[in-house]
């Protein structure tokens, strides 16, 4: 069976769609990270961040399957998403409403951070 010009157009359209999705996701994820980093800790919604991370993980997986191997943008997005996801258990633990001053003092001592900003929450 011969490949028609239309078949090429559909393939190119599909690949361009994934590239656009990748670049949009990369920009959006970086913006989200910056907004989360600059938010007061007590305003962080772990469940919301986890849901966003899951969504961007799916985007990474789709782009890995459908774009050429070794794409630097895919590698960059994957690293950003997975690195951030690794921090979430710590954020979740520090967001525990049952932490008291004695716990914060212990955390400050362990981290050697005298002006830890989260005490007396």
Q: Please say if the pLDDT value at position 71 is more than 60.
A: yes
Residue 119 covered by a domain: no
CA distances from 105 to 21, 98, 109 (A): 45, 14, 6
Average pLDDT over residues 49-61: 95
Residue 1 has pLDDT above 70, yes or no: no
Q: How many domains would you assign to the chain?
A: 1
**Alpha carbon of 51 to those of 40, 43, 85, 89, 108: distances in Å?**
19, 16, 11, 14, 30
Q: What percent of the chain has pLDDT over 70?
A: 90
- Output the pLDDT for position 40: 83
Report which DSSP code applies to 50: H
Q: What's the pTM value of the predicted model, to 2 decimals?
A: 0.77
- State the alpha helices, DSSP H only, in the chain: 5-38, 46-66, 72-94, 101-111
Report the 10 Å Cβ neighbour count for 106: 11
- Is residue 24 domain-resident? yes
Mean pLDDT for 65-82 is 93
Range of the domain at 24: 5-87
Mean pLDDT, range 24-31, rounded to an integer: 97
Q: Which residues contact 119 (CB under 8 A, 6 or more apart)?
A: 101, 104, 105, 108
Q: Which of 32-36, 86-90, 109-113 holds the top average pLDDT?
A: 32-36
Is residue 32 included in any domain, yes or no? yes
For residue 51, being part of any structural domain is answered with: yes
Residue 18 domain flag: yes
Each residue of 90-117: pLDDT tens digit? Answer: 888 888 888 888 888 888 888 887 676 6
Residue 121 pLDDT class (50, 70, 90 cuts): very low
114: DSSP letter = T
Q: Within a domain: residue 103?
A: no
């Amino acid at each position: 069976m011969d490949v028609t010009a239309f078949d090429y157009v559909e393939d190119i359209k599909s690949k361009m769609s994934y590239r656009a999705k990748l670049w949009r996701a990369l920009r959006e994820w970086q913006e989200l990270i910056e907004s989360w980093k600059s938010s007061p800790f007590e305003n962080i919604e772990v469940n919301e961040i986890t849901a966003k991370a899951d969504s961007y993980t799916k985007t990474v997986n789709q782009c890995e399957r459908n774009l050429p191997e070794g794409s630097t943008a895919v590698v960059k997005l994957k690293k950003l998403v997975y690195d951030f996801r690794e921090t979430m258990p710590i954020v979740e633990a520090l967001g525990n409403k049952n932490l008291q001053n004695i716990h914060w003092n212990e955390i400050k001592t362990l981290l050697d951070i005298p002006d830890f900003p989260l005490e007396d929450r």
